[in-house]
Structure 1
């Protein structure tokens, strides 16, 4: 399989791993958008949120619990943080192995970015 995150799981590509267990691993994003920007991925390859099966619900829930655990360990759980799943190209997904972004360590605004679509004149 030619999946970047599967290669990280298989130790073919190095990553700055900050958490791992039998269901998921978490590592620091190589292009952080916040003081802490971690990616939490399941060990099972699931391409997009649209591909989640009923038997995957436990691991997806576990991913969110791991995000909370990391936020606590990093010291920003009480102040708050953001978690994001991107799905497919319009959702901003660039690696097709589901992953939960954990961003924290600074106040987050909303919307997270300026909409680039132009309003018709």
Structure 2
């Protein structure tokens, strides 16, 4: 199920490009185009839901199992010391499709509190290289 005009639904169906690292009937995960750190992944439910409260209760567990798998893959694939896992509901949610941020973290990486400086990839090749590393760890 997708919503008309939803950017994330368009990425899930392949109508729009995205560095997808995982996809199944429950969720899909892809690189954030404005990452906090390179390798920052967004995990979204395959069926359109705007917020966590809109996700049907039976879907919550399976969805977060995918979030857990992606967090593990980001750590392993990128050799990160850990991850920062977060979600916004409406406020600060730039795309109205539920998504969880999985951000690779390392000690002294400069991230403090909820100030999220953003970076960019050097180009499509570098983005795909990061996506490939996470994909291989899944």
**Interval containing the TM-score (normalised by the shorter chain):** 0.7 to 0.9
Q: Which has the higher contact order (CA 8 A, sep 6+)?
A: 2
Larger radius of gyration: 1
Does the 8 A contact of 2:24 with 2:46 survive in 1?
A: no
Counterparts in 2 of 1:113 and 1:93: CA distance versus 1, 3 Å: same
1:13-60 C-alpha deviation (Å, 9 max, x unpaired): 010112223322111111111122111111111111121221222233
Q: Deviations over 1:48-103 (max 9, x none)?
A: 11212212222332232222232222221xx11101111112xx101111111111
Q: State the distance in 1 between where 2:20 and 2:69 align.
A: 13
Task: Give the number of the structure whose residues are more often helix, by fraction.
Answer: 2
Contact 1:41–1:63 at 8 Å: present in 2 too? no
Large movers: runs of 4+ above 4 Å: none
1:26-105 residue pairs with structure 2 within 5 A?
Answer: 26-71=29-74, 72-76=76-80, 79-89=81-91, 92-105=92-105
In 1: Cα distance, 2:55 partner to 2:27 partner:
15
Q: Please list every run of 5 or more consecutive structure 2 residues that lacks an aligned counterpart in the other structure.
A: 117-138
TM-score by length of 2: 0.70
Partner of 1:20: 23
Number of positions where the alignment pairs a residue of Structure 1 with one of Structure 2: 110
Q: Which runs of 5+ in 1 are unaligned?
A: 115-121
Give RMSD over aligned pairs.
1.9
* Counterpart residue number, 2:113: 111
